[in-house]
Structure 1
Amino acid sequence: MPYRIVIVDDEEDIREGLTDLVDWAGLGYTVVARLEDGRDAISYIESHPVDVILTDIKMTFVSGLELAKYVHDRQLDIKLVLISGYKEFEFAQQALSYQVTHYLLKPTKLQEIHQVFRDVKANLDKEKAEKEQSLGLLSRNEEMLFMLRRQFFAELASGALTGREEIERRLQLISLPADPERSPCCLYAIRIHQDGPLPDPGAADPDANRILRFVRHAYKHEQDHLLHIPLHAEAGVIRMAALGLGSGMPDAASIEEIEEKVALHFDTVKSRLHAVLGTTSELEQVQSYACLLDLARPEARTGAQPEPVATRSGAASSPQDPDASRFDPLVIQKAKSYIQEKYNEDLSLEDVAEHVYLSPVYFSRLFKKQTGRNFTDYVTEIRMLRAMEYLRQPQYKVYEIGSIVGYRSAKYFFKLFKQYAGCTPTEYRNTLP
């Protein structure tokens, strides 16, 4: 995208000449305005985006130096190039104090103008790249912080995090000004009502993830000293946590206020969900705790876990299903979702570990500890289950299915399938009704 330049000169011939004779498009610019005074330029930049101003230093009402001072004092992200027929040193000195990029003297040579604006573009390109890199780093840091906060609550709710000192350390790490013994918290769910059949539990649900992103944005900022943290999206349900921050929440002896605030804040989000996405929703499974340590204690969590989500046929998810666990630490849930999305690709342990911001060794150990199986076995089981789904569809040939679910070698696929199912893929298809 070309940079936007404004040309300001009170002499029409010079103004038009600079516009027409310089190959602005070739230099990477587009002239968005030609103005005759600094006063006009100030009016223009107040309502239009501008990257560069090329201006005469002496004009009738507002000079180029005054225009430069205006840009400098307001810290506008605009490059200034001054052009003048005067050679007095004080002009150049003053221009430098306003961080003017270049100072040209009339009559200017076309070659000199080209060189100056090539330099200006090089600086703009560099600053743009640095800004994009900085924004990208900020975005990644925000995503990492969000993941760490989700992980914190998942470990609290699962009993994996119980010590006061460790909880305090983690709170500092994730920038949450809360006290383990005084800050009330709450686990709850947002039930989303949508038309059509529910996806199978554990299956990828793009709508649920889309709604999770919407809810995350709606609850982005602290409200009434209460921070809401989306934890997990599944078919028709968004799992949430809420934490009282700072000194604005009541003492640990009172938790009614956190429930009132959760309900009040949800009413606003509910209206937004309906207005923007056309969905109806309700608050359910609200479980409040006087403090974080209460959430961490096993006896306080009795009844806090939601019921298993029914499949389309009405049967609850079986614990033997690889996707049935709803309460793994969130980093494992994220890893499972990634595997389910990428299972048919050349997926490695290193790829998944990088996706969840863990080292491969630590991720492998954590995955085994939380799921009871190693990474390779889990990927194999996902692929075998998907292969069985494809075998139910006669349009797919048996020898093609191995490639579809991620195996380059049909022979190796047949071997793994027989180990998993106790029969070959062909035999499995022949037993289907």
Structure 2
Amino acid sequence: MSYRLLIVDDEEDIREGLAELVDWESLGFTVAARLVDGRDAISYMQSDRVDVILTDIKMTFVSGLELAKYVYDGGHDTKMILLSGYKEFEFAQQAVHYQVVHYLLKPTRLPELVRVFKEVKLQLDKEKNEKEQMLSIQSQNEEMLSLLRRQFFAELLAGTLKERQEIDRRLPFIDLPLDPDSSPCCSFCIQLPRSKELAPEHPEQANSQFFRLIAQIYEKEQNPVHTIPVSVEDDMIVLAAVDCRASHSPDWTLKEAVHLQFETVKGRIRAIWGIEARLTRLTLAPSIMTMIAKQAREDSRQPASSEGDTPDTLVIQKAKAYIQNMYDKDILLEDVAEHVYLSPVYFSRLFKKQTGRNFTEYLTEVRLMKAMEYLRQPQYKVYEIGAMIGYKSTKYFFKLFKQYAGCTPSEYRNKLHDASGR
């Protein structure tokens, strides 16, 4: 990394000598400009980045100290190095006040100049690394905050987050000034028409691209209504919105804000992909707790699932569908949890509660049921079927099958053959 250096001195010999006699490149600097006066440097800084200024103190219009004051008052990151022909205490004192990093006396010896700029280079490198680390941490924090908000509202909409104590515990982590009892909220969908140009062979990839785009657009449209993209369902993006103002107006104002935000999103989608998005399924609620109560009433009217007394929530339905589609792959609990936007620990607990089985048990059952289907088809060899359902070890597949069915795969196929021959 080469840092940009301004050399400012009204004496041409000194100015040009400093620029030409020092091997700036080896020190990690590039002379961006050679200027006559401090006002030239100020003008230059208004349009170009400057990392270091090496300047004389006394100049005709704007002195080196005045230039240092400009840098200090403006909060610039530029390092100031002053040159002076005088050992005046007043100059040095002012230089310290303006956080000048070095004060060199004329005539300046080359070894001293090289030593000073090596120190400045180390200081700049350190600050650059610290800034990059800070930006990285900030980016990670923002990404985590976005994920926590998305997970919070995904669970609300799915009906898996409904206890007030748990909601209050998690609110500080999503950093939104909302009141569960009074902040108006809603859910809605953005429908995206498919076209042949938009990844027809990879709908999941297209959905992911759309989701990221919509999340980026809404990130810039978050005041005072916060809108959080939650999940992807077929050709629709599911979103939640909440009014975070201290005093809330009736629900129709949130509806109006959602429609206004959507017009911006719609315009940008049209500009980028040339398609017309639609806003659908807008459901308003006076508060989060009201929305939860409404969902609970709707769930109570749904028929129970065949696997138990409690119907599967949308999250569990989506998780099961993912497992049933991906059973032949090397999938982990973490993969399924990520697919439904939940933490692995929370998803594991929720899946067990909803289905009565843990993730591994359910995946094993799905695979072995599929194995039984393949065993009914004579074109498949018994030893091939294990790999077809996701097991690399034939021995392990045989062991699991016997535990589940009470016989080996070969015995199971023979029983099927005997039964059909009667």
**TM-score, with length taken from structure 2:** 0.75
Q: Secondary structure at the match of 2:13?
A: helix
What one-letter code is carried by the residue in structure 1 that aligns with 2:265?
V
On the 8 A contact 1:224/1:248 being kept in 2, the answer is no
Deviation at 1:278, TM superposition (A): 1.9
- Written as runs of structure 1 = structure 2, the 5 A alignment for 1:40-119 is 40-119=40-119
CA distance in 2, matches of 1:130, 1:42: 27
Match of 1:123 in 2: 123
On the 8 A contact 1:154/1:329 being kept in 2, the answer is no
On the 8 A contact 2:285/2:291 being kept in 1, the answer is yes
- Written as runs of structure 1 = structure 2, the 5 A alignment for 1:8-23 is 8-23=8-23
CA distance in 1, matches of 2:228, 2:296: 20
CA distance in 2, matches of 1:362, 1:300: 20
> Alpha carbons of 1:205 and 1:98: their partners in 2 closer, same or farther (altered >3 Å)?
same
On the 8 A contact 1:383/1:405 being kept in 2, the answer is yes
Q: 1:288 aligns with which of 268, 284, 288?
A: 284
Q: Secondary structure at the match of 1:40?
A: helix
- Written as runs of structure 1 = structure 2, the 5 A alignment for 1:29-428 is 29-196=29-196, 205-221=204-220, 225-250=224-249, 254-297=250-293, 299=295, 302=298, 327-328=314-315, 364-366=348-350, 368-369=352-353, 374-376=358-360
Deviations 1:165-211 (A, max 9, x none): 4433433332222222222211110001131299899x872222222
On the 8 A contact 2:159/2:295 being kept in 1, the answer is no
Q: Secondary structure at the match of 1:302?
A: helix
Match of 1:309 in 2: none
Deviations 1:64-115 (A, max 9, x none): 1110011001111111111222221221111111001111112222222121
Deviations 1:226-272 (A, max 9, x none): 2111101344211100111123432xxx4233223222221221111
Match of 2:5 in 1: 5
CA distance in 2, matches of 1:209, 1:189: 15
CA distance in 1, matches of 2:334, 2:279: 39
On the 8 A contact 1:176/1:245 being kept in 2, the answer is yes
Deviations 1:110-160 (A, max 9, x none): 222121111111111111111111111111111111111122222222333
Deviation at 1:365, TM superposition (A): 3.8
More displaced 10-residue stretch of structure 1: 192-201 or 7-16: 192-201
On the 8 A contact 2:398/2:409 being kept in 1, the answer is no
Deviation at 1:57, TM superposition (A): 1.4
On the 8 A contact 1:187/1:241 being kept in 2, the answer is yes
Q: Secondary structure at the match of 2:219?
A: coil
**TM-score, with length taken from structure 1:** 0.74
What one-letter code is carried by the residue in structure 1 that aligns with 2:59?
M
CA distance in 2, matches of 1:354, 1:233: 13
Give aligned-pair identity as a percent.
51
What one-letter code is carried by the residue in structure 2 that aligns with 1:284?
T
> Alpha carbons of 1:239 and 1:348: their partners in 2 closer, same or farther (altered >3 Å)?
closer
Deviation at 1:162, TM superposition (A): 2.5
Q: Secondary structure at the match of 1:231?
A: strand
CA distance in 2, matches of 1:57, 1:160: 68
CA distance in 2, matches of 1:291, 1:145: 22
CA distance in 1, matches of 2:400, 2:192: 37
On the 8 A contact 2:84/2:104 being kept in 1, the answer is yes
CA distance in 1, matches of 2:343, 2:152: 18
What one-letter code is carried by the residue in structure 2 that aligns with 1:302?
E
- Residue-pair matches, total: 383
CA distance in 1, matches of 2:287, 2:162: 12
Q: Secondary structure at the match of 2:118?
A: helix
Structure 2's unaligned 5+ residue stretches are 300-305, 369-382, 414-422
Match of 2:378 in 1: none
Match of 2:418 in 1: none
What one-letter code is carried by the residue in structure 2 that aligns with 1:75?
G
Q: Which structure has the bigger radius of gyration?
A: 2
Structure 1's unaligned 5+ residue stretches are 304-318, 385-397, 428-433
CA distance in 1, matches of 2:32, 2:49: 9
CA distance in 2, matches of 1:163, 1:56: 68
CA distance in 2, matches of 1:26, 1:329: 61
Deviation at 1:63, TM superposition (A): 1.0
More displaced 10-residue stretch of structure 1: 68-77 or 212-221: 212-221
Q: Secondary structure at the match of 1:241?
A: strand
CA distance in 1, matches of 2:14, 2:264: 58
On the 8 A contact 1:200/1:235 being kept in 2, the answer is no
More displaced 10-residue stretch of structure 1: 169-178 or 121-130: 169-178
On the 8 A contact 1:39/1:61 being kept in 2, the answer is yes
On the 8 A contact 1:158/1:327 being kept in 2, the answer is yes
What one-letter code is carried by the residue in structure 2 that aligns with 1:241?
A
- The structure where helix makes up a greater share of residues is 2
Deviation at 1:293, TM superposition (A): 0.9
On the 8 A contact 1:159/1:298 being kept in 2, the answer is no
Q: Secondary structure at the match of 2:47?
A: coil
Q: Secondary structure at the match of 1:123?
A: helix
What one-letter code is carried by the residue in structure 2 that aligns with 1:157?
L
On the 8 A contact 1:198/1:235 being kept in 2, the answer is no
Q: Secondary structure at the match of 2:315?
A: coil
More displaced 10-residue stretch of structure 1: 269-278 or 217-226: 217-226
> Alpha carbons of 1:145 and 1:359: their partners in 2 closer, same or farther (altered >3 Å)?
closer
Deviations 1:3-60 (A, max 9, x none): 1111111111211111122111111111111111111000000110111111111111
